[in-house]
Amino acid sequence: MITRQFGIPVTSPGAILRREKDLGTPLGLETAEMLQRGDLVPDKTIVKLIEDWLHLHGSYGFVFDGFPRTLPQGESLATILKGLKTSLDYAIWLEVSEETVRARIAGRLQCRTCGFTTSADSAHFDDRPICPYCEGRLERRSDDDMGVLQQRLREYNSKTQPLADFYGKVSILRKIDGNRDRETVFADISRLIEDKVLA
């Protein structure tokens, strides 16, 4: 949605790694098992992927979805951006309850071609699971099960939560209530981006 509205490239480590898996690269095969269990891929691997992506796509702005996820990743990103003579405008923190996370994971569908993510009951995608943007097939992710979710939540509480303090100290943290519907949350994010683009 951000790319379509603002022309800003968006990526996530998960999307990059799933593409690597689909291509059958050594990295994709090596990390597929970790993702399936819900474990975090080592920081060094994730940071290298993001650094390579930034060199290719980050010249005119960028948005990361789900990165950084650990304090070392955040510190490494700051170093990379300093080398590129740029900085983060915002770290957007979606505050979502565990109940909301469980409900969304249970119905999540993702396009294997372009990465568009939606829910099975949104626009009745459960009846015709075809991506509205590229007509790729919408599928359940293989790592979307409750056992994996429990592991992800443990990882989040121990490794991701400290990032809120890290970005709060440099005054770029913006918290948004992510329990609301997708359109309302996106409208809040859009306003942040518009304020920066128009500044």
pLDDT at 165: 92
- Radius of gyration, alpha carbons of the chain: 17
Give how many domains the chain has, as a whole number: 1
Output the CA angle 109-19-64, nearest 5 degrees: 75
Return the SS3 of 80: helix
Per-residue pLDDT of the chain (199 residues; tens, 9 = 90+): 788 788 889 888 888 888 888 888 888 888 888 877 767 789 999 999 899 899 888 888 899 998 999 999 999 999 999 999 999 999 999 999 999 998 888 889 988 888 888 888 776 787 888 999 899 999 988 778 788 888 888 888 898 989 999 999 999 999 999 999 888 999 999 999 888 876 6
Q: Which domain holds residue 55?
A: 2-198
pLDDT for 199: 62
Rounded Cα distance between 120 and 138, Å, is 9
Give the Cα-Cα-Cα angle 160, 165, 166 (nearest 5 degrees).
Answer: 80
Q: What is the CATH number of the domain that holds 76?
A: 3.40.50.300
